[in-house]
Amino acid sequence: MAPGPVETTEKQETETVAPKKLPKGVVLGPDGKPCRSCTDVSSWFAMSKSSGSTSKPAKPPRDCPPDVSALGRSSWTLLHSITATYPVQPTPDLQSETASFLRTFGKLYPCWVCAEDFQTWMTQNTPRVSSRSEFGQWMCEAHNAVNVKLGKKEFDCAKWEERWRTGWKDGRCDP
Ligand SMILES: Cc1cc2nc3c(=O)[nH]c(=O)nc-3n(C[C@H](O)[C@H](O)[C@H](O)COP(=O)(O)OP(=O)(O)OC[C@H]3O[C@@H](n4cnc5c(N)ncnc54)[C@H](O)[C@@H]3O)c2cc1C
């Protein structure tokens, strides 16, 4: 699956009920309609401009459904926080439940293009859940794979615990 937002093709547009001219970056869902959780908010709101509506604000209020970025930030916060509170020595049962959770997460992730790529990445990078340190490192690598796909800077995985568990060594996260 192509990285990042997917442009609609002429074929897709003629086969679906989506608006005729979709702005660049709007991703269609499996139902053929624009997928909000797969699309960046700027592209999403560009749809109202292309349909001639001028009454919409440039950005939605905070209590609207998430776009692909807001969903991603919240999801990474949850995933890294899970690794941060994962036992140093998990039981075999917990390791197996964690691997199962990740498979299900990969299937249910609301941005379907993201989900497909994440599932593919996991087939080549089996979740390492034998300890907190392994799991945290693996999650950091998973996040970096998406960073690379989106053309973002890679995060230094030696620092995942400072970012998500202990707070930075300079004390700026301490009370
Ligand atoms: C499973 C998954 C797949 C995704 N796939 C896509 C996709 O295909 N297309 C798309 O447009 N978006 C995708 N996203 C969303 C994308 O990863 C970002 O969340 C989104 O672009 C917002 O990015 P951001 O720059 O605000 O920070 P984020 O990437 O959300 O990062 C949040 C914070 O995490 C920290 N961080 C960054 N990298 C790491 C790392 N490697 N390890 C530990 N901490 C780190 C930084 O402090 C950063 O500020 C996906 C999200 C998830 C959870």
Least confident of 25-29, 72-76, 134-138: 25-29
pLDDT at 52 over 80: no
Among protein residues, the one whose CA lies closest to atom 10 of ligand 1: 4
pLDDT class of 6 with cuts at 50, 70, 90: very low
pLDDT at 129 over 50: yes
Distance CA 58, CA 24 (A): 16
Distance CA 14, CA 19 (A): 10
- Torsion sign over Cα 50, 151, 138, 116: positive
* Topology adopted by domain 68-165: Four Helix Bundle (Hemerythrin (Met), subunit A) (1.20.120)
pLDDT of residue 11: 38
- Structural domain boundaries in the chain: 68-165
Percentage of the chain exceeding pLDDT 70? 83
pLDDT class of 7 with cuts at 50, 70, 90: very low
Residue pLDDT, tens place only, 130-149: 999 999 999 999 999 999 99
For range 152-158, the mean pLDDT: 98
Cα of 151 from ligand 1 centre, angstroms: 11
Are 105 and 68 contacting, i.e. CB atoms less than 8 angstroms apart?
no
pLDDT of residue 171: 96
Distance CA 115, CA 109 (A): 5
Distance CA 151, CA 155 (A): 12
Q: Does 165 sit in the ligand 1 pocket, CB within 6 Å?
A: no
pLDDT of residue 23: 85
pLDDT class of 53 with cuts at 50, 70, 90: low
pLDDT of residue 8: 40
pLDDT at 97 over 70: yes
Among protein residues, the one whose CA lies closest to atom 11 of ligand 1: 4
